[in-house]
């Protein structure tokens, strides 16, 4: 019995099937032994875009899908080429990947680990996808990353912010471009200290699941390092829709800052509730009461409406960035869809390009070769003196010079601190970039306690 | 000493005294009728006998053992079967299946995990069930859905289910209520037949005096929760107290 | 003490929402004998009535402002709501500001119409069907309704703010002699609570003092008997469905500023409101209201830090725990009648 | 045969044939044709069909026979999955002990929940089971993370002990689940001309277990025990007054169906060793209710059909995107193509929920007996057609025969 030959569709499109049909004595042929899972045929290659299409993150998923479609167009030489022109690596020439036309299949993660794995499996087993990418939550990212490791395909994570994705749950076949909770804390804390002073008392509301905990841990460590005091950390159920009973006691706790370690619907509701309670009009300890949302996204900001005004947070990327790469991406995305891309769209687009680039540089679709290409050679980020500062260095995809670190497959780049805009000029203009925190401030070692315990393991080619 | 001995039973519902010091003795292998006007407490008394209600005070002994505090199925397993005012049968099941269930209850007790062998392979059970249907002239309706039976046939089926268990005491709660005269007569004939052919004690609650006087060996008259008189049918007819309390307006 | 008062207040407005949804649910059940899994969707539709009116009021025409540029570097299109153009910027802005309260007027006819349509078009074919079928078909309807909303409004929550004067919170603590900022309560939540009381009172008064209500109450007590009296109860029950839909819808309209409406908010409330109805006793109106407030307040208590310290995760399960305890000690819920929904 | 009468034996044979030939039946379209989108014969989905089939068969023993509507059966499935994954982490990657443990643990869990919940009936029972399941889900997602790994779901790692197996393979990967060395993921692919069919070891293990589970449920349906369960549904009062105690019967049915759910959960984890908390959520419990009713509650084969129907939608319809639609209709003139795509767009891909909801409503409204009733009506229709064509009138009067247990 051949071992895990989940592939065949790709090969069928080539001559293999025709050959099987002609060989009369053996009508039944087993799928030919292949070097690795879903080795693509000569004419096309299939990528799997696994994004939430139903459930609360469906809009984010839709935006990710738009970015993927755009990336496929650009890789196949359609459209204006987007960031292909600004990307520091010039091996991609708009002829697909290694001369094969890029095709794609889509699936629905439903923002559930189970469903996401089922849909990724179907793309691998049925559609012959060679790479899976997407997702809008860390649970899903970790679950699908584990699957891809076992199946022997590459996973290019979409939006996932938990430390665990490239921490204790890191996998050799998985890569994350998005930033993480530690970086949020490290980038945000100095700005908060600058704006609100070093003598602050923080009250945390934290979504009671893995991402919430790592986010809270990160921001608490970063703010305490700057002299803040943590008054309390209250865990809130994921299913909570009304946060009033958690927010009401905050004012009387002696805290003068409320940190909302929430994402998505939780964040929209908790922030809305907090503003409803008039927290931001209050004075505590002789200071203005402030609210902080460590992880921001434009869609969440849109959901919370006016309530985001003046509230600080961090984000991976924002369309108002003025660098060449970001501008090129915003232009082609905006021209095609009529509105600027979200950070989720950006990271997904970039991940697709990075994958294509790595395959081209490796001159092979073999996962281990791709992993090697993404881990780069010995290039390193300037200005950081660390033995782990090694990996694949690139530029021109927004965020400035970026390192795909070999040690944990995490991207290191500048992190944006943003603030809800006071006078938005359009429905997309909700956040303004307050500071671009340079990469050396958010750098950490792979064995940092918040990331320890995992093991990349060996890359897996599958078959 | 009767097979059923009810002594000093009281039952109150809030402010209402439903049963007041009821004493009753049913002799074995007789038909004992309990009659009385509406609200006399006949149904309450019946419910106290089968475990649906627990009297506030007093005792109910069946065959020398107390039934108080026992659940309906335990009391049934002791040998008391009950026929309801409106026939209670398994409407979703076929007539045959309806018959099989009491057969199992008789053989296996209140619960037995019997989950693998097919019902059809339980030959003794099937034979008993069929035999009883033949006895009651219902064999042609064996495969019918019991919900689609006529009311009379439903009553007949329920009676058959009870008889299959060979109870020592059969309680009948107004078995002819709402029946046409012809059906009533059929039921009377059926009960007479049962009475003659089997060793069985029957306790019947009834409104219809025609039924009562054609069947009963003894009659207890209940009024306002208390037994007024207990006697043979011919004496009841002439009893002026009964006439006053009950038959008076009817007769 | 202050913490307890605070959480009672919080429980009141949470409870208001539960009670309003459960009221309609139990009304439909009590009158029509239908288990309506689409009731949460009615609440959601109500909230989207507010969103829709907000959208209608902010319908805009575009003018090009050459002095500014949009994100692609093209001249900026500036949107001006028609309302502001017609009534002048200030009046227009005020009308938009009051969109949510105005939506009440907008929502009542719409929700009643939706209720009628649901009852006549679908539910009426299910009166005689098993409860499981009713659950399935209304669940299907709930999915369809929420997916339609998602199709038109997207999956993202849509901010629907309350009028400006209701922003911020009122300091209750000062009234009661506590320090400032100890017991604060947002104005809009106060409005929501009062609104809920008015609606609940209205429904009860309606059932208590009108002939119509009397027939309906009799129908809830014993449907067949009333049918025998020759009263055309079915027509009145249709109206009850409209009423229940309107109550759920209004609960949704007023809830919109508390949490930005999204398409799945109905499902979020569905399970909860069923628990509320059952804890209150299926088909009992006072039971539903009582249970709504009870569960709201208990849920608030469970979220207090010291309670959570004693029993970690208690706020995750409190509602269900209470439901289990009540159902085991009071078999038919707080005020349920015997024999209802037990088979 | 096997203690079954002829009719039941036929049903069983049909199920066996369907299960064993599924790789062919589910891949009817050539793999590079446009319709290949509708092929469902890949290992993961085939496994899901039979696993959820098992889940629904078990649920049907409780709901279909006794009428007790549990809204918490997903909890047993979840518990089964967690037990299985823990077995993989601690003991070995052999699936048999894992599956056994998941059945046992789910059984124990259902004793507990069943004992308490069955003190009430009707909707009160439903809400009790719902409450227990939601509590399990909420806790699994948060406080119990050390046991369940919360949001991500319990998964295998490279440093699990695995006392009776290897911690990691020679190539540095997590070993695969297997039955005495036969890996569950190993697949044999057969290419026949333009078609290609997958034969997956895991699928066949699931299929064999499903056949056994189906056979067992068939026997239960025909047994005295099954009859008692139907009697519980029909008239508990009469059952009580016939000297039978309904409680242990319903509890036994509850436990059996809980064990079926645990078996399904264990199999899910065996095919894909990750146990997500979402599989315990009330929507997951609702899903099995939908499967059973959609297929036909109380019928033998209905639940399996319902499970297949819903899983097919979830996995196949959700993957049809605009791109695929454009490919299908590319032969049409541009305007028509765009219009068609525009019209279909809301119903496929991210709109699969909408289509499913509409189908629920249609099926429940017009086919109260579920898909099985649909099938019966169709076959009756055909029979009537063929009867109409031959001119001999049917002299025999067919009295309405009651279904023994509808098939």
Q: Does C6 reach chain A within 8 Å, measured CB to CB?
A: yes
Please write the tens of the pLDDT for every residue from B192-228. 888 888 889 999 998 788 888 888 999 998 888 888 8
Cross-strand partners of A206: A235, A261
Beta-carbon contacts of B121 under 8 Å, excluding residues fewer than 6 positions away, are D3
Which chain C residues contact residue A57 at CB under 8 A?
Answer: 155
Give me the pLDDT at residue D389, please: 52
Element (H, E) at C29: helix C2-32
Higher pLDDT, B141 or B244: B141
When scoring A29, A56, A113, A337 by the number of chain D Cβ atoms within 10 A, the one with the most, hence best to mutate, is: A113
D354 contacts C151? CB cut-off 8 A: yes
Q: In B83-180, which ranges are continuous DSSP H helix?
A: 95-108, 123-135, 151-164
> How many Å apart are CA A84 and CA A325, to the nearest integer?
9
What angle, 0 to 180 degrees and rounded to 10, lies between the N-to-C axes of helices C39-57 and C233-255? 60
> How many Å apart are CA A223 and CA B67, to the nearest integer?
74
Largest CA distance in chain A: 90
Give me the pLDDT at residue C250, please: 95
Asked whether D271 and D210 are in contact (CB, 8 A), the reply is: no
Please write the tens of the pLDDT for every residue from B27-55. 999 999 998 887 788 888 998 999 888 89
B117 contacts D223? CB cut-off 8 A: yes
D131 contacts C275? CB cut-off 8 A: yes
Residues of each domain in chain B carrying CATH 3.40.50.300: 1-79+169-251
Evaluate whether residue C336 is within a structural domain. no
Query: For tokens 């002048």, what's the residue?
Result: C88
Q: What is the 3-state secondary structure (H, E, C) of C198-214?
A: HHHHHHHHHHHHCHHHH
Asked if the model's pLDDT at residue C226 lies above 90, the reply is no
> How many Å apart are CA D287 and CA C277, to the nearest integer?
22
Which chain D residues contact residue A113 at CB under 8 A?
Answer: 151-153, 274, 276-278
The distance of A360 to chain C (nearest Cα, Å) reads 31
> How many Å apart are CA C162 and CA C257, to the nearest integer?
5
> How many Å apart are CA A82 and CA A71, to the nearest integer?
8
Total domains in chain C come to 1
DSSP state, residue C37 = T
> How many Å apart are CA A43 and CA A15, to the nearest integer?
11
Q: Angle at Cα C95 formed by Cα C94 and Cα C97, nearest 5°?
A: 60
Please write the tens of the pLDDT for every residue from B132-165. 999 888 889 999 999 999 888 888 899 899 999 9
CA neighbor of A319 nearest in space, from A199, A405, A193, A433: A433
Evaluate whether residue C325 is within a structural domain. yes
Phi and psi angles of residue A429, each rounded to the nearest 5 degrees, phi first? -90, 70
Token pair belonging to D50: 């039979």
A and C in touch (3+ CB pairs within 8 angstroms): yes
CA neighbor of C302 nearest in space, from C311, C315, C321, C287: C315
Sheet holding B4-13, edge to edge: B16-26, B4-13, B57-62, B65-66
Strand B201-205 relative to strand A154-157, pairing = unpaired
Sign of CA dihedral B108, B114, B119, B120: negative
pTM of the model: 0.91
Q: Could you give the 3-state DSSP secondary structure of residue A134? A: strand
Q: In B198-224, which ranges are continuous DSSP H helix?
A: 209-215
Phi and psi angles of residue B11, each rounded to the nearest 5 degrees, phi first? -150, 125
A242 contacts C258? CB cut-off 8 A: yes
The distance of A193 to chain D (nearest Cα, Å) reads 31
Give me the pLDDT at residue C223, please: 62
Give me the pLDDT at residue C225, please: 62
Asked if the model's pLDDT at residue B251 lies above 60, the reply is no
C278 contacts D123? CB cut-off 8 A: yes
CA distances from B216 to B34, B194, C253, D10 (A): 9, 13, 70, 55
> How many Å apart are CA C273 and CA C19, to the nearest integer?
8
Q: Could you give the 3-state DSSP secondary structure of residue A378? A: coil
Q: Please name the chains neighbouring D, where neighbouring means 3+ C-beta pairs under 8 angstroms.
A: A, B, C
pLDDT band at D407 (very low <50, low <70, confident <90, very high): very low
Asked whether C60 and C82 are in contact (CB, 8 A), the reply is: yes
> How many Å apart are CA A385 and CA D2, to the nearest integer?
75
> How many Å apart are CA A154 and CA A147, to the nearest integer?
10
B and C in touch (3+ CB pairs within 8 angstroms): no
> How many Å apart are CA B143 and CA B50, to the nearest integer?
31
Give me the pLDDT at residue A18, please: 36
CA neighbor of D263 nearest in space, from D22, D15, D60, D50: D50
Task: Output the average pLDDT for chain A.
Answer: 88
Beta-carbon contacts of B248 under 8 Å, excluding residues fewer than 6 positions away, are none
Asked if the model's pLDDT at residue C119 lies above 60, the reply is yes
Phi and psi angles of residue A394, each rounded to the nearest 5 degrees, phi first? -145, 170
Give me the residue from B101, B106, B116 closest to D231, CB to CB.
B101
Ramachandran bin of D359, using left for φ above 0, alpha for ψ from -120 to 50, beta for the remaining angles: alpha
C259 contacts A272? CB cut-off 8 A: yes
Report the b/e string of A224-248 with b at 16+ CB within 10 A. eeeebebbebbbbbbbbbbbbbbbb
Q: In D39-144, which ranges are continuous DSSP H helix?
A: 43-66, 73-90, 95-117, 122-141
Which chain A residues contact residue D192 at CB under 8 A?
Answer: 27-28
CA neighbor of C242 nearest in space, from C15, C17, C27, C22: C27
Q: Angle at Cα D168 formed by Cα D162 and Cα D171, nearest 5°?
A: 165
Task: Output the average pLDDT for chain D.
Answer: 88
Asked whether A404 and A354 are in contact (CB, 8 A), the reply is: yes
Please write the tens of the pLDDT for every residue from A361-381. 999 999 999 999 999 878 899
DSSP state, residue B41 = S
Arch. (CATH architecture) of A182-315+418-427+430-442:
3-Layer(aba) Sandwich (3.40)
Give me the pLDDT at residue A2, please: 39
Mean pLDDT, to the nearest integer, of A175-195? 95
Q: Which domain holds residue C243?
A: 2-47+99-329
Which chain C residues contact residue D143 at CB under 8 A?
Answer: 312-313, 316
> How many Å apart are CA D130 and CA D151, to the nearest integer?
21
DSSP calls for C158-195: ---PPPGGG-SEEEHHHHTTPPTTSSEEEHHHHHHHHH
CATH code assigned to D6-319+367-389:
1.10.3470
> How many Å apart are CA A287 and CA A353, to the nearest integer?
47
CA neighbor of C95 nearest in space, from C56, C44, C49: C56
C131 contacts D354? CB cut-off 8 A: no
Q: What percent of chain C lies above the pLDDT cut of 90?
A: 39
The distance of C274 to chain D (nearest Cα, Å) reads 8
Least confident of A285-294, C149-158, C165-174, D305-314: C165-174
Higher pLDDT, A15 or A239: A239
Q: What percent of chain D lies above the pLDDT cut of 70?
A: 94
D31 contacts A9? CB cut-off 8 A: yes
Arch. (CATH architecture) of A44-177+320-408:
3-Layer(aba) Sandwich (3.40)
In this structure, chain D runs to a length of 407
DSSP calls for C96-154: HHTHHHHHHHHHHHHHHHHHHHHHHHTGGGGTTS-HHHHHHHHHHHHHHHHHHHHHHH-
Task: Output the average pLDDT for chain B.
Answer: 87
Asked if the model's pLDDT at residue D400 lies above 80, the reply is no
Domain B1-79+169-251 has CATH 3.40.50.300: yes
> How many Å apart are CA B68 and CA B55, to the nearest integer?
8
Token pair belonging to A168: 């204790």
Cross-strand partners of A108: A51
Q: What percent of chain A lies above the pLDDT cut of 90?
A: 68
Give me the pLDDT at residue C229, please: 60
Asked if the model's pLDDT at residue D396 lies above 80, the reply is no
Asked whether C280 and C292 are in contact (CB, 8 A), the reply is: yes
Give me the pLDDT at residue B246, please: 63
If one counts every other C-beta atom within 10 angstroms of the C-beta of residue C309, the result is: 9
> How many Å apart are CA C242 and CA C107, to the nearest integer?
12
Q: Angle at Cα D254 formed by Cα D250 and Cα D256, nearest 5°?
A: 115
- Domain residue limits, chain A: 44-177+320-408, 182-315+418-427+430-442
A1 contacts D182? CB cut-off 8 A: yes
Q: Could you give the 3-state DSSP secondary structure of residue A207? A: strand
When scoring D44, D135, D190 by the number of chain A Cβ atoms within 10 A, the one with the most, hence best to mutate, is: D44
């Amino acid at each position: 019995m051949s071992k895990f030959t989940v592939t065949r569709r790709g090969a069928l499109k080539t001559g293999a099937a025709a050959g099987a049909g002609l060989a009369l004595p053996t009508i039944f042929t087993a799928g030919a032994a292949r070097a690795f899972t879903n080795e693509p045929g000569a004419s096309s290659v299939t990528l799997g875009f696994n994004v939430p299409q139903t459930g609360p993150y469906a809009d984010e998923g839709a935006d990710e899908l738009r970015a993927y479609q755009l990336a496929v167009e650009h890789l196949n030489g359609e459209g204006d080429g987007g960031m292909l022109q600004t990307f520091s690596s010039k091996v991609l020439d708009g002829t697909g990947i290694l001369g094969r036309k890029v095709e794609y299949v889509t699936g629905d993660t439903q923002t559930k680990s189970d469903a996401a794995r089922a849909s990724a499996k179907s793309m691998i087993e049925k559609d012959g996808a060679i790479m899976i990418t997407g997702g809008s939550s860390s649970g899903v990212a970790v679950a699908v990353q584990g699957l891809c490791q076992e199946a022997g395909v590459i996973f290019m994570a979409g939006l996932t912010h938990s430390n665990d994705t490239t921490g204790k749950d890191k996998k050799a076949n998985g890569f994350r471009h998005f930033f993480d909770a530690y970086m949020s804390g490290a980038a945000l804390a100095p700005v908060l200290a600058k704006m609100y002073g070093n003598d602050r008392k923080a009250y945390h509301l934290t979504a009671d699941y893995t991402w919430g905990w790592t986010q809270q841990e990160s921001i608490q460590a970063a703010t305490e390092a700057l002299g803040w005091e943590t008054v309390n950390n209250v865990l809130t159920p994921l299913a909570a829709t009304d946060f009033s009973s958690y927010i009401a006691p905050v004012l009387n706790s002696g805290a003068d800052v409320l940190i909302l370690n929430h994402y998505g619907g939780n964040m929209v509701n908790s922030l809305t509730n907090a503003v409803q309670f008039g927290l931001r009009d209050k004075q505590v300890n002789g200071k203005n009461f402030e609210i902080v949302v460590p992880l921001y996204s434009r869609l969440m900001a849109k959901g919370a409406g006016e309530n985001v005004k003046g509230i600080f947070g961090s984000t991976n990327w924002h369309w108002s960035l003025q660098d060449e790469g970001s501008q090129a991406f915003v232009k082609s995305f905006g021209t095609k869809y009529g509105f600027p891309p979200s950070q989720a769209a950006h990271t997904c687009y970039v991940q697709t390009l990075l994958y294509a680039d790595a395959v081209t540089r490796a001159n092979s679709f073999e996962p281990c070769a791709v992993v090697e290409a993404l881990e780069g050679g010995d290039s390193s980020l300037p200005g950081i003196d660390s033995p782990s500062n090694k990996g694949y260095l690139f530029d021109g995809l927004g965020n400035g010079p970026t390192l795909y670190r070999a040690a944990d497959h995490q991207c290191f780049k500048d992190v944006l601190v943003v603030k809800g805009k006071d006078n938005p000029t359009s429905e997309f203009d909700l956040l303004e970039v307050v500071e671009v925190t340079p990469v050396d401030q958010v750098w950490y070692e792979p064995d940092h306690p918040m990331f320890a315990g995992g093991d990349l393991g060996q890359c897996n080619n599958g078959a | 000493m009767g097979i059923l001995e009810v002594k000093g039973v009281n039952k109150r519902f809030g402010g209402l005294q439903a049963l007041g010091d009821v004493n009753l003795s049913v002799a074995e292998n007789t038909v004992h009728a309990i009659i009385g006007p509406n609200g006399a407490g006949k149904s309450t008394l019946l419910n106290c006998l089968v475990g649906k209600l627990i009297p506030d005070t007093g005792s109910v002994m069946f065959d020398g053992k107390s039934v108080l505090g026992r659940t309906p199925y335990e009391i049934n397993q002791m040998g008391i079967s009950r026929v309801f005012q409106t026939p209670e049968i398994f409407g979703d099941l076929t007539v045959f299946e309806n018959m099989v269930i009491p057969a199992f209850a008789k053989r296996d007790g209140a619960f037995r995990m019997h989950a693998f062998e097919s019902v059809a392979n339980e030959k003794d059970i099937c034979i008993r069930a069929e035999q009883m249907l033949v006895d009651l002239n219902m064999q042609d309706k064996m495969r019918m859905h019991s919900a689609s039976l006529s009311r009379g046939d439903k009553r007949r089926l329920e009676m058959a289910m009870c008889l299959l268990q060979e109870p020592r005491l059969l309680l009948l709660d107004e078995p002819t209520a709402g029946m046409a005269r012809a059906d009533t007569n059929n039921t009377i004939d059926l009960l007479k037949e049962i009475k003659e052919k089997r060793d069985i004690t029957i306790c019947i609650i009834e409104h219809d005096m025609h039924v009562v006087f054609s069947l009963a060996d003894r009659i207890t008259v209940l009024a306002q929760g208390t037994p007024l008189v207990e006697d043979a049918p011919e004496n009841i007819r002439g009893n002026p107290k009964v006439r006053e309390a009950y038959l008076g307006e009817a007769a | 003490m202050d913490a307890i008062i605070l959480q009672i207040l919080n429980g009141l407005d949470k409870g208001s929402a539960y009670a309003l949804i459960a009221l309609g649910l139990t009304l439909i059940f009590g009158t029509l004998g239908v288990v309506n899994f689409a009731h949460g969707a009615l609440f959601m539709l109500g909230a989207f009535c507010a969103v829709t009116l907000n959208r209608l009021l902010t319908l805009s025409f575009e003018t090009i402002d050459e002095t500014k540029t949009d994100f692609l570097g093209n001249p900026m299109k500036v949107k001006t709501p028609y309302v502001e153009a017609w009534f002048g910027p200030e009046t227009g802005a005020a009308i938009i500001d009051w969109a949510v309260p105005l939506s009440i007027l907008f929502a009542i006819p719409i929700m009643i119409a939706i209720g009628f349509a649901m009852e006549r078009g679908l539910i009426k074919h299910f009166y005689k069907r098993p409860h499981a079928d009713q659950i399935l078909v209304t669940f299907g309807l709930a999915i369809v309704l929420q997916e339609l909303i998602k199709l038109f409004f997207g999956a993202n929550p849509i901010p629907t703010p309350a009028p400006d004067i209701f922003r911020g919170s009122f300091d209750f603590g000062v009234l009661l002699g506590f320090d400032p900022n100890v017991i604060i309560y947002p104005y809009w939540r106060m409005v929501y609570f009062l609104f809920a009381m008015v609606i609940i009172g209205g429904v009860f008064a309606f059932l208590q003092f009108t002939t119509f209500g009397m027939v309906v109450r009799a129908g809830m007590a014993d449907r067949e008997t009333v049918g025998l009296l020759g009263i055309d109860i079915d027509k009145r029950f249709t109206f009850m469905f409209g009423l229940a839909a309107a109550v759920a819808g209004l609960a949704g309209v007023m809830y919109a500023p508390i949490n930005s409406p999204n398409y799945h908010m109905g499902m979020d409330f569905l399970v909860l409101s069923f628990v509320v109805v059952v804890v209150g006793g299926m088909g009992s109106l006072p039971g539903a209201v009582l249970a709504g407030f009870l569960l709201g307040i208990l849920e608030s208590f469970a979220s207090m830090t010291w309670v959570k310290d004693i029993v970690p995760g208690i706020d995750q399960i409190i509602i269900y725990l209470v439901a289990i305890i009540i159902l085991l000690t009071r078999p038919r819920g707080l005020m349920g009648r015997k024999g209802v929904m037990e088979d | 045969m096997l203690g079954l009468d002829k009719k039941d034996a036929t049903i069983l044979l049909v199920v066996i044939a369907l299960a064993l030939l599924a790789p062919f039946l589910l891949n009817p379209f050539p793999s590079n044709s446009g319709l290949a989108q509708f092929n469902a014969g890949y290992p993961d989905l085939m496994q899901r069909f039979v696993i959820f089939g098992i889940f629904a068969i078990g649920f049907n023993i409780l709901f279909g026979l006794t009428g007790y509507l549990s809204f918490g059966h997903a909890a047993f499935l979840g518990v089964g999955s967690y037990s299985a994954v823990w077995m993989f982490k601690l003991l070995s990657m052999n699936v048999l002990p894992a599956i056994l443990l998941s059945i046992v643990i789910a059984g124990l869990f259902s004793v507990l929940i069943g004992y308490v919940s069955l003190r009430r009936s009707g909707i009160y029972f439903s809400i009790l089971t719902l409450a227990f399941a939601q509590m399990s889900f909420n806790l699994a997602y948060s406080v119990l993370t050390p046991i369940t790994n919360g949001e991500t779901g319990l998964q295998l790692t490279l440093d699990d002990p695995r006392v009776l197996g290897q911690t990691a393979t020679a190539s540095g990967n997590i070993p695969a689940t297997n039955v005495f060395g036969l890996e569950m993921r190993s697949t044999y692919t057969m290419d026949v001309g333009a078609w290609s069919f997958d034969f997956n070891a895991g699928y066949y293990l699931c299929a064999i277990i499903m056949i056994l589970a189906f056979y067992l449920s068939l026997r239960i349906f025909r047994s005295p025990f099954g009859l008692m369960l139907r009697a519980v549904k029909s008239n508990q009062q009469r059952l009580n007054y016939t000297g039978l105690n309904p409680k242990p019967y319903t509890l036994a049915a509850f436990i059996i169906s809980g064990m079926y759910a645990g078996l399904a959960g264990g199999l899910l984890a065996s095919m894909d060793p990750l146990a997500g908390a979402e599989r315990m959520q009330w929507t997951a419990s609702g899903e099995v209710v939908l499967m059973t009713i959609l297929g036909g509650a109380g019928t033998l084969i209905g639940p399996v059909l319902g499970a297949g129907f819903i899983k097919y939608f979830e996995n196949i319809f959700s993957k049809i995107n605009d791109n695929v639609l454009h490919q299908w209709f590319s032969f049409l003139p541009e305007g028509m193509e765009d219009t068609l795509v525009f019209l279909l767009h809301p119903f496929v891909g991210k709109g699969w929920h909408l289509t499913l909801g509409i189908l629920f409503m249609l099926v429940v409204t017009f086919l109260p007996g579920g898909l099985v009733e649909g099938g019966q009506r169709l076959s009756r229709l055909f029979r009537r057609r063929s009867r109409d064509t031959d001119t001999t009138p049917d002299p025999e009067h067919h009295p309405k025969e009651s279904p023994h247990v509808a098939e």
